[in-house]
Amino acid sequence: MGGKFMTAEQSTFMIDLHQVGMMLRQATSRSLCLLDEFGKGTLTNDGIGLLGGTITHFVNLEVPPKVLVCTHLTELFNESCLPKSEKINFYTMSVLRPQENSTNVEDIIFLYRIVPGHAALSYGLHCALLAGVPEEVISRARLILDAIENNKNVERLCNEKISSKDQQYKAAVDKLLAFDFLKGDLSTFFQDI
């Protein structure tokens, strides 16, 4: 689809836009339109707006095509993003969590069955674990997610090398602030730094 637009110089997001634009112009009531993670190649809010606008366009058609949308943009479930319509049905993958309040990613079991509803939680960390992402990366991701969810600042990850450099920079700034530019000797100043 859209072969003349598919060049190596375009981003995947631009290619997605061309394809969805063509879909919007050419879809009929007999079409099956598949939107897989449309909007992921841009800022989250732009992606939500583009996907929400695309779905709304289809909903507003008198005789719309069949549209299947797969997305991680859960903000779309908000009624301000999508119109309430009998034409929209939400489905999600069934997931078994042995303990409802369990946050341990190892406890999650994907059942590979589609059920009515939408996902209340993201299972990205579990998927990362299954894909072999090192535990230290997942632990750090868990800390960052927790900070974001609780509107806290994300603490910078500090190791000895970074800490040592920070101390050197602080010492240089302290010397710079203490230096008397009117009476001081610049040669000596730069040798000290």
pLDDT tops 80 at residue 79:
no
DSSP 190: H
Residue 6 binned pLDDT confidence (cut-offs 50, 70, 90) = low
The span from the CA of 103 to the CA of 142, in Å, is 10
Tell me what the pLDDT averaged over the chain comes to. Answer: 85
- pLDDT tens, position by position, 105-134: 667 888 999 999 988 777 888 889 889 999
Among candidates 80, 32, 73, which has minimal Cα distance to 56?
80
Q: Give mean pLDDT, residues 85-108.
A: 79
Give backbone dihedrals phi and psi of 114, rounded to 5 degrees, phi first: -90, 135
The answer to whether the beta carbons of residues 67 and 85 sit under 8 Å apart is no
What the chain holds in terms of domains, given with CATH numbers, is: 1-88 (3.40.50.300)
The answer to whether the beta carbons of residues 94 and 111 sit under 8 Å apart is yes
Residue 19: partners with Cβ closer than 8 Å, 6 or more residues away: 1, 2
The span from the CA of 159 to the CA of 20, in Å, is 45
Q: Give mean pLDDT, residues 82-91.
A: 91
